[in-house]
């Protein structure tokens, strides 16, 4: 556990310490209190869970509360308002919604507010300004009609090798749901359990990992509506490729509009490790960008530096038939989302040492979803071109 001297200073990088299995940050107030408790003989027990893997295994409830475009404030010189997308736009709106509901309900209980938002959000029509549904505040018995509203099915892949981009390929084929009840009466202050059995859509190309979804609607006699979203996937996430063989090539990104793959045996002049933080000495040197692209998320990605017959240099690790002298600094990476990851490399290994001048390639390995780290067949592999490293004097 780590905390900074003030709420504005946060250390989020996991330190590279042998045997360290988890790392998290806490507020300065919490850190100070825990230290006082340990001085008094108390034991602090922390149950840490990496929740980011839920999205890649679909072990998650589809409870998003905002859409893809948001009206946001921007500097007046840029117009004052704009419609933008991304988590930086969605989080403030989500926080405001949570705060308004918490104010009305008189509680900040996360699970309750999360369920309230997920069940009362309108899945199809434009928000009419209603903060919450009155049906959840009824003080009398209520009769509900239960029905199924399917949504379009979308494919993860546009072919069996590359992840698709929005708007994904779609199909009208959808799941069917078998409901144990279609009409129920719920007494005030009570609850009932409804059994729902889904049957996946038929006739889909499961190699392209189709994602199907929809809503279970609960409607009162006065037409007040609640909706419970669901999501499913056909196909095998474990068998899906997360890293293509050519997804580790070094790319020249100096022209952001048209990045190109560098030729094999390219030489990179890197900054002298002793002067690495001297901007005057590194400004005009080469930029070696190590890059890998994941078509799906991966629980773990490694990047081994493999020497190409450098005299006197002994490898320390052998993986996937390659002799490695260590991993690129910052690797292994855990719970990596899909997409491209690119960063400048100055020759530093994860242990803090620097590789000597010479010829190398980088071998990436990405663990398949639900993969076993001990099974080599559960890792996808990609290699960079062979390249030469030299250091500035």
pTM over 0.85: no
Task: Please tell me the total number of residues recorded for the chain in this structure.
Answer: 393
- Give me the DSSP letters along 340-358: EEEEE--SBBTTS-BPPSE
**What is Dmax (Cα atoms) for the chain?**
83
In the DSSP assignment, the letter for residue 5 is S
Q: Distance (Å, rounded) from C-alpha 365 to C-alpha 313?
A: 23
- Give me the DSSP letters along 196-220: EEEEPPSS--GGG-EEEEEEEEEEE
Q: Distance (Å, rounded) from C-alpha 95 to C-alpha 98?
A: 5
Domain(s) labelled CATH 2.60.40.4070 in the chain stretch across 251-391
Q: Distance (Å, rounded) from C-alpha 314 to C-alpha 66?
A: 53
For residues 95 and 117, is the Cβ–Cβ distance under 8 A? no
Q: Which residues of the chain have pLDDT under 70?
A: 1, 4-23, 48-57, 59-69, 122-140, 159-163, 166, 255-256, 276-286, 309-322
What does DSSP say about strands 153-155 and 170-171: parallel, antiparallel, or unpaired? antiparallel
Torsion of CA 262, 296, 16, 307, to 10 degrees: -40
SS3 193: coil
Q: What is residue 361's predicted lDDT score, i.e. its pLDDT?
A: 93
Architecture, CATH, for domain 251-391: Sandwich (2.60)
Q: What is residue 238's predicted lDDT score, i.e. its pLDDT?
A: 92
SS3 336: strand
pLDDT digits (tens, 9 = 90+) for 210-232: 999 888 888 887 777 778 888 89
For residues 233 and 370, is the Cβ–Cβ distance under 8 A? no
Q: What is residue 9's predicted lDDT score, i.e. its pLDDT?
A: 46
- Other CB atoms within a 10 A radius of the CB of residue 190 amount to 8
% of the chain residues with pLDDT over 90: 25
Q: What is residue 202's predicted lDDT score, i.e. its pLDDT?
A: 92
- Other CB atoms within a 10 A radius of the CB of residue 87 amount to 9
Q: Distance (Å, rounded) from C-alpha 200 to C-alpha 321?
A: 41
From first CA to last CA, the distance across the chain in angstroms is: 40
Contacts of 133 (CB under 8 A, 6+ apart): 119, 120, 224, 225, 226
Q: What is residue 69's predicted lDDT score, i.e. its pLDDT?
A: 66
Angstrom CA distances, 28 to 3, 35, 50, stand at: 5, 11, 22
């Amino acid at each position: 556990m780590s905390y900074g001297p003030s709420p504005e200073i946060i250390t989020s990088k996991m330190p590279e310490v042998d045997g360290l299995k988890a790392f998290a940050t806490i507020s300065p107030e919490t850190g100070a209190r825990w230290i006082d408790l340990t001085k008094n003989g108390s034991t602090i027990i922390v149950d840490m869970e990496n929740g980011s893997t839920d999205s890649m295994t679909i072990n998650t409830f589809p409870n998003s509360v905002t859409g893809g475009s948001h009206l946001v404030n921007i500097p007046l010189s840029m117009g004052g308002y704009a419609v933008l997308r991304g988590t930086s736009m969605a989080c403030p709106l989500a926080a405001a919604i949570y705060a308004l509901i918490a104010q009305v309900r008189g509680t900040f209980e996360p699970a309750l507010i999360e369920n309230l938002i997920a069940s009362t959000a309108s899945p199809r029509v434009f928000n009419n300004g209603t903060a919450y549904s009155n049906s959840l505040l009824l003080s009398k018995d209520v009769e509900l009609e239960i029905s199924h509203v399917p949504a379009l099915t979308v494919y993860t892949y546009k072919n069996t090798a590359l992840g698709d981009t929005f708007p994904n390929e779609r199909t009208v084929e959808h799941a069917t749901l078998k409901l144990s009840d279609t009409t129920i009466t719920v007494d005030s202050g009570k609850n009932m359990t409804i059994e729902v059995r889904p049957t996946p859509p038929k006739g889909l190309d499961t190699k392209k990992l189709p994602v199907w979804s929809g809503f279970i609607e609960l409607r009162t006699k006065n037409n007040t509506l609640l909706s419970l979203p669901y999501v499913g996937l056909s196909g095998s996430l474990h068998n899906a490729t997360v890293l293509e063989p050519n997804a580790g090539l070094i790319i020249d990104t100096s022209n952001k509009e048209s990045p190109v793959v560098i030729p094999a045996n390219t030489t990179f002049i890197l900054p002298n490790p002793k002067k690495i933080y001297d901007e005057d000495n590194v400004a005009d040197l080469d930029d070696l960008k190590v890059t890998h692209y994941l078509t799906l998320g991966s629980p773990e990605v490694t990047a081994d530096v493999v020497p190409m017959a450098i005299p006197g240099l002994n490898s320390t690790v052998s993986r996937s038939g390659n002799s490695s002298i260590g991993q690129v600094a910052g690797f292994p990476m855990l719970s990596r989302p899909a997409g491209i990851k690119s960063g400048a490399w100055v020759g530093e290994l994860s242990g803090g040492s620097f590789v000597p001048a010479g010829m190398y390639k980088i071998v990436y390995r990405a663990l398949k979803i639900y993969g076993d780290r001990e099974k080599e067949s559960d890792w996808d592999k990609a290699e960079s071109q062979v390249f030469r490293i030299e250091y500035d004097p």
